[in-house]
Amino acid sequence: MPLSQIPQIPYIPYMPDYQDMTACQIAEYVKAGRMSAVDIARQALALAQSEGHNLNAFITLCEDKALAQVATVDKKVRAGEFVAKRASRRTGNSAEISAGALAGVPIAVKDNISYTGYPTTCGSKMLETYIPPFDATVMERLIDAGAVIIGKTNMDEFAMGSSSETSYFGPVKHPLDPKLSPGGSSGGSAAAVARGIVPLALGSETGGSVRQPASFCGLYGLKPTYGAVSRYGLVAYCSSSDVIAPFARTAEDLAVLYSVIAGHDMRDATSLAGDHPDYISCLKTDRKFKIGIPKQYFAWELSCQVSPVLNQAIESLEKAGHEFYDISLPLTNKAIATHYIIAPAEASSNLARFDGVRFGFRTAGETDLKQMYLRTRSEGFGDEVKRRIMLGTYVLSAGYYDTYYLKAARVRELIRREFENAFKEVDLIITPTTPTPAFKLGEKLKDPLAMYLCDVFTVPSSLAGVPAISVPFGTVPAADSSLKLPVGVQFIAPYMGEKALFQIASILEHLKE
């Protein structure tokens, strides 16, 4: 047949495998009509059922609502709604995100964030059957942006833990080795992203519960400025530190997800009312940063595996023209003690509502009110939650409030001022994210102090309310296997300094390449 008579076959670009795609790629393919949001959601749900089950990463899959959401997304794509107009923002951001910024993108959400139609358990027997009557603000914003919520992820009970082992539903397993912890308390969200089940996930942070699992699993994990993301619909643990925080596999995906969820919310009294810059367009920058190295962070006994990765990151950034300065944060060694007075104190107050009367678990067959309270809380809470409730009740009790809680609150303010003064000299602060790579499940479970010290590098910025990010930069050999374990590098920025964090993450991402 002459060449001129051969029917022309339309050019079809290479279609990457779903698990290799970034969230930004998925959204662009869906909005261009080159992929169906329904097909993507079915792949994600199938992976959640298989891989997610193997990792114990999910508590609940949201299949019915997910398929309804993708049907809406595909309908909007056909109608041209995600191309022809800009998104209507309710977040107070000065720079709008294009409509459908997360069109068809599967996302997993930690199971302490309220979502109607499905249980929000907080990884606890106490809330095993609780179905919230409203959606969290972040859930509304995700759905408005076209994201598809495929499931609620496993977590340490009431976000109290650093290994995702205290869950009533069993421990989460590391995506590289089922004998290892993925970190906590947002371990289910981290494992789901690292295994490729979803490209994005939400966790929550109180003292490192996103940055630590991000480091263990080789992800980008951001702790926003306190108040930058609405806490409306987040089940409270430590209200003065809690933040909803994102995971992603690339700096760009992280910036897009944060842009969607950040911004003022009138329903949250702690929500900040200021504008947010355009985090996506600022990623490509030739800015040279002044970066502080706090000697106190390096005085801790770091794993011999972590130090070389951190030094390599510093060396790479120096070669790229960034400047490093020695700085001092002398109250760093007081941060863990301060956090583990303030957080349990607030937890004892917040968790007092779980009494068997209003909602959640209630012990059966008890007719005496006092005994019903006692048995409900004894049977409904796990050991770590009860430990922190008792500690918090003690430090708030008459005769001890001034000695412990009030003193801790004063030290917290001094830590905040230390960061404030440090940022008069430097743009960013670099530290390790964690003292070690991922440790074995069960290794620290019976030693609470050893578990608490896993957060020694993440807690100070949480107390100060300033933003911080864990950036994956290298891998190290596991102690007893041929595996290569991820290691993250942490950057801390001034109040509302997320733009600089996304920029340094993008810079380091390209240097790593």
Euclidean distance between CA atoms 112 and 173, whole angstroms: 19
Give the distance from CA 214 to its chain's centroid: 8
Cβ–Cβ under 8 Å, residues 205 and 242: yes
Predicted confidence (pLDDT) at residue 9 exceeds the cutoff of 50: no
Closest to 222 in 3D by CA, of 10, 480, 500: 500
Whole-prediction pTM value? 0.94
- Residues 6+ positions from 292 with CB-CB distance below 8 Å: 324, 325, 326, 327, 422, 425, 426, 428, 429, 430
| Residue 409: strand, helix, or coil | helix
Mean pLDDT, to the nearest integer, of 387-416?
96
Say yes or no to pLDDT of 243 above 70: yes
Residue 499 has pLDDT above 70, yes or no: yes
DSSP 207: S
Q: How confident is the model at residue 302 (pLDDT cuts 50, 70, 90)?
A: low
Query: How far, in Å, CA of 127 to CA of 364, rounded?
Result: 15
φ, ψ of residue 291 to 5 degrees: the values are -120, 130
H/E stretch holding 399: none
Q: What separation in angstroms does the CA of 452 have from each of 47, 190, 510?
A: 33, 19, 33
| pLDDT at position 301 | 62
User: What pLDDT does residue 394 have?
Assistant: 97
Q: Distance between CA atoms of 219 and 36, rounded to whole angstroms?
A: 27
Whether residue 32 is contained in a domain is answered as: yes
**Mean pLDDT (whole number) for 311-333:** 96
Counting the structural domains of the chain, the total is 1
The fraction of the chain above a pLDDT of 70, given in percent, is 93
**Most confident listed range (76-85, 268-277, 304-313, 379-388):** 379-388
198-219: pLDDT as tens digits: 999 999 999 999 999 999 999 9
Beta bridge partners of 276: none
Rounded Cα distance, 232 and 55, in Å: 29
User: What Rg, from alpha-carbon coordinates, does the chain have?
Assistant: 23
Cα 395 from Cα 404, distance rounded (Å): 6
| pLDDT higher than 50, residue 85 | no
Residue 81 pLDDT level (bands cut at 50, 70, 90): confident
Q: Flag whether 159 is in a domain.
A: yes
Residue 94 is assigned to a structural domain of this protein: yes
- Give the whole-angstrom CA distance, residue 328 versus residue 348: 34
Whether residue 91 is predicted with pLDDT greater than 50 in this model: the reply is no
- Does residue 176 contact residue 221 with C-beta atoms inside 8 Å? no
- pLDDT tens digit sequence for 257-292: 999 999 999 999 999 998 899 999 999 899 999 999
> What are the residue ranges of helices labelled H in 333-406?
335-350, 369-380, 383-396
Contact 214, 247 (CB under 8 A): yes
Above 50 in pLDDT, residue 4? Answer: no
Query: Do 389 and 351 form a contact (C-beta atoms < 8 A)?
Result: yes
Q: Is residue 278, in this structure, part of any structural domain at all?
A: no
Residues 195, 51 contacting (CB under 8 angstroms): yes
Contacts 24+ apart (CB under 8 A), 80-84: 82/31, 82/146, 83/31
Distance CA(480)–CA(439), nearest Å, equals 11
Which DSSP helix (H) or strand (E) runs through 170?
Answer: none
Cβ atoms < 10 Å from Cβ of 13 = 7
Q: Which domain holds residue 198?
A: 21-261
Residue 170 included in any domain: yes
pLDDT score recorded for residue 436: 93
Query: How crowded is residue 369: how many other Cβ atoms within 10 Å of its Cβ?
Result: 11
Evaluate whether residue 213 is within a structural domain: yes
CATH of the domain at 86: 3.90.1300.10
Between 92 and 173, residue with greater pLDDT? 173
pLDDT at 482 > cutoff 90: no
Instruction: Give me the chain's average pLDDT, please.
Output: 92
- Distance CA(381)–CA(299), nearest Å, equals 37
Contact indicator for 159, 204 with CB cutoff of 8 Å: yes
Count CA atoms closer than 13 A to 236's CA, side-chain side.
21
What does the pLDDT read at residue 97? 59
CA atoms within 13 A on the CB side of 144: 19
Region 364-382 average pLDDT? 94
Helix (H) or strand (E) holding 42: helix 37-55
Asked if residue 267 is part of any domain, the answer here is no
Active site residues: 110, 185, 209
SS3 content of the chain, % helix, strand, coil (to 5): 40, 15, 45
pLDDT at 170: 98
pLDDT in tens, 437-468: 999 999 999 999 999 999 999 999 999 999 99
Q: Is residue 58 part of a domain?
A: yes
Section 301-318 average pLDDT: 86
What sign for the dihedral angle of Cα 25, 28, 30, 32?
negative
Residue 142 phi/psi, 5° resolution? -60, -45
* Residue 195 pLDDT > 60: yes
What pLDDT, on the 0 to 100 scale, is given for residue 6?
39
